[in-house]
Amino acid sequence: MSALICGSFAFDTIMVYSGQFKNEILPDQVHMLNVSFLVPDMRREFGGCAGNIAYSLALLGGDGQAMGTVGKDFDDYADWMDQHGISRDYIKRIDDAYTAQAYITTDMDDNQITAFHPGAMNHAHEQAVPTDAGITLGIVSPDGKDGMVSHAQQFADAGIDFIFDPGQGLPMFNGAELKTIIDQATYLTVNDYEAKLVCDRTGLSEADIAAKLDALVVTKGAKGSVIYADGKTYEIPTGNPSALSDPTGCGDAFRAGLIYGLQQGYDWEITGRIASLMGTIKIERPGTQNHRFTMDEFKTRFAKEFGRGLG
């Protein structure tokens, strides 16, 4: 089962301010805000949902192809993908645009100020889902809105099962648009806040949504996740992280676990735990593509965390 991972590629520039924003921003002067923060710590990470999911799926040995649009500055990212055996067959370079960029400044209270430039991501709709490449599973993750809509439609028209993963792109969609994609999708994965937002915008309950899908997956951070499938509710626990280094990208690692479990034909109890452990492993490392393991290490830890083997 080969998966097509539709979504964004981005460079994340992460800076740490050693103070507190609240001490530098005067509430009664926000209408004329002009502040500067000294950020002695900075790192640049490879990111974007498609890139992150493809990276984690490759660690698991899953069969995945990432599809997205990137800019003229993508060379370093391309080299990184080549080093880690991640296919670039369905990546399109837009020569007059930059790859999407996120500039994130975090203070000592974990507050964040982020500036995001979508760049080449706005051209996502120029890519089409290949219907002659043996793709049997897809995921529509955050990307340019037109691209997300068209790729969902193309998966549905081709009869390819797919996961709808709206993530941070969710606010772009109104209720009618969400209903359309949910009707097209096979699976929906959201966090608990996003689940409430989907219900609010569509007027549907979680039970209504689950009834339209093969599975509704709702993640709840440290409280684990819940999978509604086959008329049943599966409570999935978290793993036990050795450190809480960086939650950025945990959702993408989780989704890579879902894809892998589906590819392997595991039941939801096992698939959910694979996804959960992927999120646990990711949170132990800073950045979204810096976690490492072998499959033997993953299977050993899976058995230790959950008291059962992968088989």
Known catalytic residues?
252
Rounded CA separation 246/240 (Å) = 15
Neighbours of 18 (CB within 10 A): 11
Cα dihedral across residues 267, 269, 270, 272: positive or negative: positive
Here the tokens at position 11 are: 């460079």
Name the DSSP class of 214.
Answer: S
Question: How buried is 75 (Cβ within 10 angstroms: 0-12 exposed, 13-18 middle, 19+ buried)?
Answer: exposed
Name residue 141's amino acid: S
Name residue 138's amino acid: G
- Tabulate helix, strand, coil % of the chain (nearest 5): 40, 25, 35
Q: What are residue 234's phi and psi, to 5 degrees?
A: -110, 115
Rounded CA separation 154/78 (Å) = 26
Here the tokens at position 297 are: 């290490």
Here the tokens at position 257 are: 């676990």
Rounded CA separation 50/263 (Å) = 17
Here the tokens at position 285 are: 């490392």
